[in-house]
Amino acid sequence: MKHYKLYILWLFICVIAFYSCSKDEDIFLDNDEIEKPEGPGQPDNIVISLVASGLQDIIDIRTSPSFQFDIERSVDAEETVALFAKLTEEEVNEELPEGHSYKYFSEGQWTIDDNPVIFLTGETKKTVTISFVEPPRTSVPQVYVLGLYVRSFTEEAKIESTKSKIIFRVEIPAKEGTVTNPYLLSSVDDLLTMKIKVDGVAAKEEVYFELQNDIDLAGESWTPLVDAGGNLDWGEYRVIHFNGNNHKISNWICEGVPYASFFGVLIGSCKDITFENATVSGTGRPVGIVAGAVGHWGYSNPKTRIVNTHVSGSVSGDTNMSWDWGNPAFATGGICGVLRQGSSILNSSSAANVTGTAAGGLVGDCNNSGGSISGCYYAGGTVTAVGESGEAYAGGITAKTANCPISDCYSLGIVNAENGRAAGGITGEMSSATTISSCYSTARIIAKTNAGGIVGRTDGCNNSTVQRCIAWNQSVTSLSDLGSGLVTGWINGSNLTLQNCFANYDIPLMVDNNLVDVSQNFTEDKINANLNDFRYNGSRGETTLQETAGKSALGWNSDIWDFTGDTPKLKWESEIVVE
């Protein structure tokens, strides 16, 4: 055995020396030169050839990294040796179709078993195995190629020229989880492994998911994709993009975890999805069905967008805490607890029952420079605010709003802060640099202190505006004698503009169990000085909400609103298709 190993080593060294010295020598035979000897013996013109030569396509080297092919000699003889060598890129290109772009396998990305190939007496065919290591995937598919040619290392053996080369062509798919090759979700298991994929993404990198069909998560306990352990290191965030393809995820439960929700903390995008009959509850951090928090706290980039996203079910957050602007952990919303800087929600809806210290039909706390809420609605159910010392807020769209424009939205159902400070059909409380425009509410409004058909309370509303809105609520009720109004409740701020708003003067406005004569209350359109007043009732509407919405003074965009029914609807509502 020892002598045999030394012989193989000597043979390999000779092969290399031969290859380096004789590469340019003509040791090929054309087909017309080949003579196949007959009978036994040691022929002097053995012919070596590849059984399958030319271009060979390999489907998937990740699951099948090895490929086998055969090499043969024309007759049985004594020992015959052949060697495989790599073609140059130029030589490979000569064998490939033109007009395509290729990459080339480098050393270390492929190996051949038993090279050189040694035919022993009695062998006329040998099977060769080549193995590949998949190159790193990129955001786009790539095609890799490798060309080999066979050389003879036996004096009596020649190579058949037309069967001397083999080209391996391998398509390397795009990296999974990219914009061009997203992770495809079609089963419960696919959803449950999303978190593993998110955790595997490098900090600040993007990952893409696409839902392929409706998925019922009944009986499953959901863990948010980014739970953050209660404290998110913003340098470690991942950017998640989720495309629901107009499908739905239904009947799931998420309870007792930080940022209780589907995503946890969403930085990226979510679109074309319905989360149906979700049950979400949590404490100590913001809570919502889609996300506890949306966007990056303190920074406007990367911007996060939620589009054509719809939720139903129930959401409950902290109800035993006093609200603190510096700690929006107690914000609870149908879609998200907190909407942060640069983040937007567009053409989305909520039909969830929401309970929390700051409870919003869509968003708990919107403190959002550079973001917005537009073209959204609360479809009904109940929004309930509960908190210590009466510091709780409820709103049909948001509970608390600052630096966040809200436009072309509406709310139905019940907005209840009878154990809290303020409730409003669109927002419970608005503060500085906020504009609410082209919105309406038919919701029943109840507050312990400040109630308003559109805004429950304006506090420190410097440089803010409420305009072109309609209060058509079932009723507006305050359980105390402080400011409440048809359009807004308590008004406080400078450079605050209230204009071109209308209300149904048949709305019962109740304060401390007494029906208020709305004609005796503050109705001025504009306030451009410091103000501390009770309420803003707006102008008297027409006989119906639809007629009022058609007023030219409102200037509602007919490309956004549909005025053909009994009440104004958003045009996208008739266009959405949930498969």
pLDDT tier at 34 (50, 70, 90 boundaries)? very low
Q: What is the mean pLDDT of the chain?
A: 85
**Which residues sit opposite 287 in a β-bridge?**
332
Q: Taking the CA of residue 162 as centre, how many other CA atoms within 13 Å lie in the half-sphere pointing to its CB?
A: 5
How many CB atoms lie under 10 A from the CB of residue 223?
14
Tokens, residue 310: 């719809």
Q: Residue 389: is its pLDDT beyond 70?
A: no
pLDDT digits (tens, 9 = 90+) for 458-483: 887 778 899 999 999 999 999 986 78
Do residues 348 and 304 touch, judged by C-beta distance below 8 A? no
The mean pLDDT value for 152-157 works out to: 90
Place of tokens 């319905």: 274
CA distances from 126 to 15, 146, 543, 565 (A): 18, 21, 93, 79
User: From CA 539, how far away is CA 504, in angstroms rounded?
Assistant: 9
CA dihedral 511, 397, 285, 266 (to 10 degrees): -170
- Mean pLDDT computed over 96-100: 86
pLDDT of residue 321: 56
Per-residue model confidence as pLDDT tens digits over 482-491: 788 899 988 8
pLDDT digits (tens, 9 = 90+) for 509-563: 888 877 777 665 544 443 333 444 567 888 888 888 988 888 877 889 999 999 9
Please give the full DSSP string across 101-170, using - where no structure is assigned. --EEPPTTSEEETTSSEEEPTT--EEEEEEEE-PPPP-SS-EEEEEEEEEEE-STTEEEEGGGSEEEEEE
Of residues 291 and 318, more confidence is placed in 291
Triad 386, 390, 391: Cα angle to 5°: 80
Mean pLDDT of 269-279: 98
Report the relative pairing of strands 268-281 and 253-255 from DSSP bridges. parallel
Question: What confidence tens digit (pLDDT) does each residue in 235-253 have?
Answer: 567 899 999 999 999 999 9
How far is the C-alpha of 317 from the C-alpha of 337, rounded, in Å? 9
Query: Mind listing the domains of the chain with CATH numbers?
Result: 52-175 (2.60.40.1740), 216-221+246-254+269-568 (2.160.20)
Q: Which of 26-40, 50-64, 329-343 has the lowest mean pLDDT?
A: 26-40
From the list 77, 81, 74, the residue with the least C-alpha distance to 42 is 77
| Closest residue by Cα to residue 228 from 189, 179, 282 | 282
Residue scoring higher pLDDT (14 or 442): 442
Residue indicated by tokens 């007043």:
533
Please give the average per-residue pLDDT across 91-113, as a whole number. 91
- Contact (Cβ atoms closer than 8 angstroms) between residue 74 and residue 34: yes
Q: CA-to-CA distance for 536 and 46, rounded, in angstroms? A: 104
Number of Cβ within 10 Å of residue 94's Cβ equals 12
For residue range 165-208, what is the model confidence (pLDDT) as tens digits? Answer: 999 999 888 889 988 889 999 999 999 999 999 988 888 889 99
Write phi, then psi, for 561 (nearest 5 degrees).
-105, 145
User: In the prediction, which pLDDT does 126 show?
Assistant: 96
Q: What is the pLDDT of residue 523?
A: 46
Q: What is the pLDDT of residue 428?
A: 97
Which pLDDT band, with edges at 50, 70 and 90, does 15 fall under? very low
Tens digit of each residue's pLDDT (9 = 90 or more) over 359-369: 999 999 998 77
**Phi, psi torsion values for 44, nearest 5 degrees:** -105, 5
**Measuring CA to CA, how many Å separate 210 from each of 3, 251, 273, 386?**
62, 19, 10, 37
- Output the pTM of the full model: 0.78
What is the mean predicted confidence (pLDDT) over 442-448?
97
User: Is the distance from CB of 95 to CB of 147 less than 8 angstroms?
Assistant: yes
**pLDDT tens figures, 302-326:** 789 999 999 999 999 977 655 454 4
